[in-house]
Structure 1
């Protein structure tokens, strides 16, 4: 309690019956409130805080990404190539629908189509022992993959100002293993370069499309997509669970991936997302029909599909399996 300074003090004096003089002082006091608890103070702060007016945000160079890995065209398991193609076409259709929805909220001029390897089944994996379990020859597998790239490009060509198509080889894409050639000696990048040549035949329709593959002596590439930098690899360069270690090693030794914001890869046939404050790793699911051999041993089957997401200034948003 404390004296109220706004009111006067009343002083009284009087004489008692026995002749003694008495005196009294009357004060007006104010009751002090108890100190609020820390939690109560925070609650009051939250309750009384006024929202700040939202500043206008200029549209940045956002990119719409479609990541399709491990198609393994030609693999016979669970419906074979026909089912792989049907699932891919469904994924492209869903991706285009999501792209159209995203464009209602902001301008998105860049479309990024990623194919992080194992685009065909090939005939080199496991020393060629799985060759019998294919329903297309290698040249037929490559031809189909080329057409699937065209399908995705055509789906977005009329809407996007820029289309970037990034293709790397996986272990299944290797053309042969009896000699050690180059990482670029693979069917996926061969198909991509063929598509690039085909697009030059109609510059009016496809002049805004760029096909990118790694230099011949590298199995991965570090490339810009708007204001975000990607490193695109298949994933067979490291063991399961070691992708961030591989990325760290590349960064420590001054290689291209050190400047990347996003590591996009496949190989392990299941969708994964791993983040740090400034880095994001996005692992594709699979589009093939699964492995009967793996299911026989472990019982596990993958959820099939491609991935879509937006990137802006190194940030990854709205990841969906389509």
Structure 2
């Protein structure tokens, strides 16, 4: 061997290839593919290859991917999928219709009074995996609805003419935040996220509908709810409002039970809406329309509100700006204006806690409104 050949030699590693393997204990597990030149074409076929029945087991979330280049310059990848028992396969609309059909006619309550009872629930971010994930988010929401119903009953003596349920956005985790980089920390695909959200919206309506003769369900999209970002569509192209529209369509199938329920979302070309609830006017937005924080003169939310008013847009007539996005319960007031920022239902971000130490209270807000004034507010 010549000196040139000897110098050209290199200590090439004998690579340990990824071997197909799987583990599953009946509750959770994983599937690890071997080295592949292309991603698996079908989750169903992949499950069958590993001996699972796709009717009993499903792949959840996005795969963890390992990529490497071989000595002959080919790129290979191995995929690790999480698996879990398959959840009920009924379609979202079929299930909603079945539940709605089972309700008997609404019995008028004849409740009257000067107040509207508000339940404000923002930033559920369904499928976010941090701090308990979706299971804890759903449990907290259901608990919050129960507490809100109790609060409604305890405040009924003040005179409540209607119930306003607000979802100010980021209802699901989605798959578009941070250009999709949040996807590996997301437990379920978007279709499953929206199915859960529809059920939770309907649950809230079902709990309040028998208590009053007027229910409003108000829903706007947050940045996590956006359907896509790779091309520009419109502000209404979001999953939260689509779920609300599905619930509205289903409620119409039983007008005797739910004819007193009104569902509203913004115009497709607008990301927020200004609506009257009783004698109080709300502007409902998510909050990503402005930056957090503010100046000595007030928050950036008040600045956005003031700009809308200066240009004579509809928020000029609002008494209340209800929003989410900042994951912190906050109230800011002027003489005739009140800003109400929701806390969060998700468990917070591990990244943000590690960076700042900050954590937020979980839950929804309940409060009464009358002629633009807010009273009896509490976290539930």
2:217 match: secondary structure: strand
SS in structure 1 at match of 2:212:
coil
* Highest RCO, 1 vs 2 (Cα 8 Å, sep ≥ 6): 1
In the alignment, what sits opposite 2:47?
none
Instruction: Show structure 1 runs of 4+ deviating over 6 A.
Output: none
How far residue 148 of structure 1 moved from its aligned partner, in angstroms, is 0.3
Instruction: Tell me, in whole angstroms, the C-alpha distance in 1 between the residues paired with 2:326 and 2:267.
Output: 24
CA contact (8 A) 2:123 2:168 kept: yes
Alpha-carbon offset, residue 93 of structure 1: 0.3
Please state how far the C-alpha of 1:318 moved relative to its aligned partner. 1.1
Counterpart among 57, 62, 66 of residue 119 in structure 2: 66
**In the TM superposition, what whole-angstrom CA distance separates every residue of 1:168-205 from its partner, at most 9, and x where no partner exists?**
00000000000011000000000000000000111111
Instruction: Please name the residue that 1:225 is paired with.
Output: 277
TM-score under structure 1 normalisation? 0.81
**Per-residue CA distance 1:242-264 (angstroms, 9 max, x = gap):** 00000000000000100000000
| Alignment-derived partner of residue 331 in structure 2 | 273
Q: For 1:38-187, what aligned pairs fall within 5 Å after superposition? A: 60-103=113-156, 105-187=157-239
Provide the residue aligned with 1:215 in structure 2: 267
> 1:61·1:110 contact (CA, 8 Å) conserved in 2?
no
Structure 1 distance, partners of 2:180, 2:242, is 20
2:302 aligned partner: 244
Partner-residue secondary structure (3-state), 1:91: helix
CA distance in 1, matches of 2:320, 2:252: 29
1:289, distance to aligned residue in structure 2 (A): 1.1
Unpaired runs of at least 5, structure 1: 1-58
Q: How far apart are the structure 2 equivalents of 1:122 and 1:61?
A: 39
- Check the 8 A contact 2:113/2:161 in 1, yes or no: no
* Alpha-carbon separation, structure 2, partners of 1:244 and 1:318: 23
Q: How far has the Cα of 1:60 moved from its partner?
A: 4.4
Q: CA RMSD in A?
A: 0.8
**Matches of 2:169 and 2:304, distance apart in 1:** 17
Q: Distance in 2 between matches of 1:262 and 1:61?
A: 17
Select which of 303, 307, 316 maps to 2:365.
307
SS of 2:211 mapped into structure 1: coil
The secondary structure found in structure 2 opposite 1:109 is strand
For residues 159 and 167 of structure 1, what CA distance do their matches in structure 2 show? 21
Mapped partners of 1:286, 1:231: distance in 2: 19
Q: Distance in 2 between matches of 1:68 and 1:60?
A: 24
Larger CA Rg, structure 1 vs 2: 1
What number of residue pairs does the alignment pair up? 263
SS at structure 1 position matched to 2:164: strand
Q: Distance in 2 between matches of 1:199 and 1:268?
A: 32
Structure 1: distance between partners of 2:113 and 2:257: 25
